Structure 1
């Protein structure tokens, strides 16, 4: 384990919070449609921040730590693209006005960071206490990979999500977005707006993605600081990336299959690590540099194959995939 001091943790968290605060202020003070140039500038900025941090981390803590960070960041960044698919579906399903999408995404990223911070703390504690948790995490990832691959051509059923249905049933909701407010008063009665329900939907999605992404990045590194920073810097650029690539997401037709392969690969890596520690040191482990190469290779192949496919068949459309199949009306 790396010797990461309290001051380093506090400065890092403060830096992440400061970047989030800037996003929140921009979203609250100036609701607007984010254009391509603005989205590009912010996307480049966040990538440079992540890379700059990685270079500093590599120089400060060594090549192994730096490699683990970049591998973790790439894993989380690739999984966050699947997040974007679902965000697009949610925005479309609830007809969120473009000028309020900035606010929704920023709040969604805050929720995702809070949930993942909690999962990181729990995951790190479990792994330090019980080595068999590597086996459990590996099995979870392989199960997720199989389900994602089986339902790779489907979209999540947002409207029938249990949390969303409960929110609609229990909370009085206005018909319109009321200038982007979350809560308002109508005839003296306090009501939530559809924007509140959208945030509930995104929170539910964030929870599901945290269940997948945290075991995945622990497959790359056991260091909680690296897990946190890889997640934080991957998520921070999500808002800008949404506006930059939402028109291109439909072309990544093989992304879900590729992510399923990545999750399965990391699941096997975790299980081999458990066997190496608990059964016999003769069981081989997959080194981090090899993991990084495999992950990048899968992403490159998936991207190129997707672009070739959509060029030959313009009607082909990508889907984020679902962890369970949809039931047809009347089906039990």
Structure 2
């Protein structure tokens, strides 16, 4: 895939322009987005991402188009998991709903910057050291195990990181609008909103470590990696308010992501064996028996896993919601029998 510096520059400029527009059009004035506003912008950004993928397929071939769609689906699923952690963080810090947009916007920008840095490092490593696929693959398999066990535990507001920050920064007890710092008694104080953003920045770092090796398991094209990540993060703020209540119902999302990460980890290890250059393995020769998993299979597998995890989660939580009503009805019937 031949991507010129001009294409890179235009892509980055347009991405920045979208986030600048988001800030001035929606975030600068604190408010809680309506359901209609969130739905319209979510559809717009998802449609834009799909249209871009079609463009990649038409211009550069559908092999690259398939890599983009597989990467976008994976990054979008990881971003939804990211939103779940954002929800936990903002609940722990009791961030008022009307100020959550600003926190989300800053958190998403931090995530894009961190992922951009990891993309550059990953591209350099892959281009010069093919053995890095072994490391990426093993790392993803480890992450898959941790993800399957569930990682959303503990109180982010009471973490070691927050205790360290509070030792360094004086923090006010209450919020001061959407301000990050205030001056009181001749001294500059941080607000709880700043602490929330620091916590979310740390979360972004952790998720960047997850997402970049995962998408490099689907494509080695840095341009596809960047655009898939950018489009996955665009509209994430609106998606948060659109499916805020639904997030807590996705009880099997962690397990679904674990399956996806494990699959990509295996795919990376097989690819590493296929292009092996390590002298202490098979004399530095590739393993001929190691298959290359085609991108169409990866795309179907990821889409199917996300679908199954979502449907199973909704069925499970729906059943849990209905069960108390059934139990309550049975109790009433038992009481009526006793009285009769």
TM-score by length of 1: 0.92
Q: Distance in 2 between matches of 1:22 and 1:100?
A: 18
Q: How does 1:87-102 map to 2 (within 5 A)?
A: 87-102=86-101
Pair 1:18-2:17 in alignment: yes
The answer (yes or no) to whether the contact 1:112–1:203 under 8 Å persists in 2 is yes
Which structure 2 segments of 5+ residues have no match? 277-285, 324-340
Q: 1:151 to 1:315 in 2, by over 3 A?
A: farther
After TM superposition, give the deviation of residue 102 of structure 1 in Å: 0.6
3-state SS of paired residue (2:297): helix
The answer (yes or no) to whether the contact 1:69–1:226 under 8 Å persists in 2 is yes
Q: Distance in 2 between matches of 1:276 and 1:3?
A: 24
1:205 aligned residue: 203
Q: Distance in 1 between matches of 2:154 and 2:229?
A: 23
1:114 aligned residue: 113
1:275 aligned residue: 273
2:335 aligned residue: none
The answer (yes or no) to whether the contact 1:27–1:106 under 8 Å persists in 2 is no
Pair 1:244-2:251 in alignment: no
After TM superposition, give the deviation of residue 27 of structure 1 in Å: 4.7
Q: Distance in 2 between matches of 1:190 and 1:159?
A: 21
After TM superposition, give the deviation of residue 55 of structure 1 in Å: 1.4
Q: Distance in 2 between matches of 1:301 and 1:211?
A: 25
Q: Distance in 1 between matches of 2:210 and 2:154?
A: 15
Q: Distance in 2 between matches of 1:20 and 1:161?
A: 30
Pair 1:51-2:50 in alignment: yes
How well do the aligned residues superpose, as a CA RMSD in angstroms? Answer: 1.4
3-state SS of paired residue (1:159): helix
The answer (yes or no) to whether the contact 2:93–2:157 under 8 Å persists in 1 is no
After alignment, is 307-316 or 219-228 more displaced?
Answer: 307-316
**Deviation digits for residues 198-228 of structure 1, max 9, x if unmatched?**
0000000000000000000001000000000
After TM superposition, give the deviation of residue 72 of structure 1 in Å: 0.3
The answer (yes or no) to whether the contact 1:27–1:103 under 8 Å persists in 2 is no
Q: 1:273 to 1:157 in 2, by over 3 A?
A: farther
Q: Distance in 1 between matches of 2:261 and 2:159?
A: 24
After TM superposition, give the deviation of residue 306 of structure 1 in Å: 1.0
Q: Distance in 1 between matches of 2:41 and 2:175?
A: 27
Q: Distance in 1 between matches of 2:230 and 2:239?
A: 14
1:183 aligned residue: 181
Q: How does 1:212-231 map to 2 (within 5 A)?
A: 212-231=210-229
Of 151, 155, 158, 2:156 maps to: 158
List 4+ stretches of structure 1 deviating above 4 A: none
Pair 1:62-2:69 in alignment: no
Q: Which has the larger radius of gyration?
A: 2
After alignment, is 278-287 or 45-54 more displaced?
Answer: 278-287
TM-score by length of 2: 0.90
Q: Distance in 1 between matches of 2:160 and 2:24?
A: 31
After TM superposition, give the deviation of residue 129 of structure 1 in Å: 1.1
The answer (yes or no) to whether the contact 1:163–1:200 under 8 Å persists in 2 is no
The answer (yes or no) to whether the contact 2:27–2:105 under 8 Å persists in 1 is no
The count of corresponding residues between Structure 1 and Structure 2 is 314
